[in-house]
Amino acid sequence: MSLTRRAFARNLLATPVAAGGLALTASPSQAAGLSAPVPHAAVKIGRFTVHMLTDGHVDLPYGFFTGQSPEDTAAQATAAHVTRPGDTLRLGFTQYLIDDGARLVLVDTGPAGGIGEHTGKLPGALASLGVAPDDIDAVILTHTHFDHISGAIAGGRAVYGQAEVFVDRRDIAQFTDPGARAAAPDFLQSSFDATADLVRLYPRLQQIQGNQDILPGISTVDLTGHTPGHIGVRIADAGQSMLIVSDMLFHPLLHPERAEVGFVFEQDPAAAQAMRARFFPMAAGDGSLIAATHMPFPGLGRIGRDQGRLTWVNEDWASTL
């Protein structure tokens, strides 16, 4: 069933599911008795509709961003007028729901309440579109860091139990390796735990590697670096395309201008930097429409050049097509 038909049916029935979805995204305005719509953006890529849904956001201290000192990040934030209380940068968690008219493919599943108090909104966002977890036909996980897979295993169960789940085998190898776990810092342990849960709860997990066709018009792209099995998702039809690049860019203050800036979760900082240094100029050269999980909602934009400097250019978006 297409998403449009599902949403139509949901509107006709005004189901309690939708009301439950709104409850999951309670905000101060709702507490005051006002109803806040769930943030939603959509874009057409040929026959595909790509819906952008947020699981929430987190504010992270400058020290989480490696490759330059927190003082450098502070100076850049001050110059750009984006300082926040607590010397933090705000990162979003956008998930991408691809509708090809017959199937629904979800890219990443969010931290699901596991990071700060402002996450866990994806189930409500899906419900607002009339989509239940069992309606998802496939899930592509761009890598097995906690904030991308936790929503698939929330509550100790396979949340997307009807879906075929795709993940790169290099991340499964890394994040189920006892030696790698022993060598990893405390803050990465949750990603090892979550990967173990993923393997246990999804016995039919499809382990792929790098560039692979998933469905007609949907393929994965090797972006190894941020993690060994970090992949993007390419959607292409009728001469249009979009590349979901997950953790290639973290915040417009830092990326794409500073490829040397990484994230404290990266276990091989040199590999992560090398991929950014290769990818950013390439994307600036071909003008690809890209979508990045942690950039400001809906994470949709292009990499441009301004007198030799690489810049992030937001793409226009709308909540209705």
The count of other CB atoms within 10 Å of the CB of residue 248 is 28
Report the run of H or E that residue 72 belongs to, with start and end.
helix 70-79
Give me the residues paired with residue 59 across strands.
Answer: 90
Residue 129, token pair as written in the block:
């579109």
Binding residue count for Zn ion, defined by CB under 5 A: 2
Instruction: Map 279-321 to HEC letters.
Output: HHHHHHHHCCCEECCCCCCCCEEEEEEECCEEEEEECCCECCC
- Any contact of residue 108 with Zn ion (CB under 5 A)? no
Q: How far is the CB of 232 from Zn ion (least distance, A)?
A: 13
Binding to Zn ion in span 245-284, by CB under 5 A: 247
Contact with Zn ion (CB under 5 A): which of 55, 99, 147, 171? 147
The site map against Zn ion for 210-249 (x = CB under 5 A) is -------------------------------------x--
Q: How far is the CB of 295 from Zn ion (least distance, A)?
A: 11
Stretch that binds Zn ion, among 59-67, 112-120, 143-151, 230-238 (CB under 5 A): 143-151
- Any contact of residue 171 with Zn ion (CB under 5 A)? no
Q: Which is nearer to Zn ion, 62 or 93 (CB)?
A: 93
At residue 287, the 3 state secondary structure works out as: coil
Q: Which residue has the tokens 């629904």?
A: 104
Q: Which is nearer to Zn ion, 60 or 172 (CB)?
A: 60
Q: How far is the CB of 142 from Zn ion (least distance, A)?
A: 8
In the sheet that holds 48-61, the strands lie side by side as 40-45, 48-61, 88-99, 104-107, 138-140, 164-168, 206-208
The residues binding Zn ion (CB under 5 A) are 147, 247
